[in-house]
């Protein structure tokens, strides 16, 4: 009798198990999920050197995601590449409201580690 409950609990826990965000396969799946989102605006999060406060600065409006054959995710705005990073090295998550995503990785455009926040144009699914 307890074997039935144990197997039922295992089935339920497998369905609600959280994805491993450190797994490169999850990162590729996440990038493919957000690549079709239109972006209202993009901001960069950084720490101010003088005050130590976290500052968000808008770096682009009306942007879009792109994933190339080298498995790199990019954010383009007005024909300019704002951010590019390798997908397997990308640390990313969506807001609980699903209105945007935070991407954290070494940026191949600027040559430094960056945190970029993309706010979706249409977030309802």
Give the number of domains in the chain: 1
Q: What separation in angstroms does the CA of 124 have from each of 40, 98, 99, 100, 121?
A: 14, 8, 8, 11, 9
Note whether residue 83 is domain-resident. Answer: yes
pLDDT value at residue 4? 59
Note whether residue 6 is domain-resident. Answer: no
Q: Provide the CATH number for the domain around residue 36.
A: 2.30.29
pLDDT value at residue 116? 96
Note whether residue 4 is domain-resident. Answer: no
pLDDT value at residue 110? 93
∠ CA 90-95-101, nearest 5°, is 40
Which residues make beta-bridge pairs with 44? 57, 116
Note whether residue 102 is domain-resident. Answer: yes
Q: Which domain holds residue 109?
A: 19-120
Specify the higher pLDDT residue, 36 or 91. Answer: 91
pLDDT value at residue 11? 61
- Mean pLDDT computed over 40-52: 91
Note whether residue 115 is domain-resident. Answer: yes
pLDDT value at residue 61? 94
Specify the higher pLDDT residue, 24 or 17. Answer: 24
Note whether residue 3 is domain-resident. Answer: no
Tell me the DSSP string of 30-67. Answer: HHHHHTT-EEEEEEEEEE-TTT--EEEEEEEEEEEEEE
**Summary mean pLDDT of the chain:** 85
* Helix, strand, or coil (residue 12): helix
Instruction: Give this prediction's pTM.
Output: 0.78
């Amino acid at each position: 009798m307890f074997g039935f409950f144990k197997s039922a609990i295992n089935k339920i826990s497998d369905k609600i198990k959280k994805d491993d965000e450190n797994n490169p396969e999850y990162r590729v799946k996440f990038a493919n999920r957000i690549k079709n989102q239109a972006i209202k605006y993009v901001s960069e999060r950084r720490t101010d050197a003088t005050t130590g406060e976290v500052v968000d600065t808008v770096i682009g409006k009306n942007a879009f995601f792109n994933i190339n054959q080298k498995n790199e995710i990019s954010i383009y705005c007005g024909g300019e590449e704002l951010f590019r990073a390798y997908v397997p090295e990308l640390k990313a998550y969506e807001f609980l409201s699903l209105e945007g995503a935070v991407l954290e990785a070494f940026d191949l455009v600027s040559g430094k580690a960056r945190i970029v926040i993309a706010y979706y144009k249409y977030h309802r699914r």
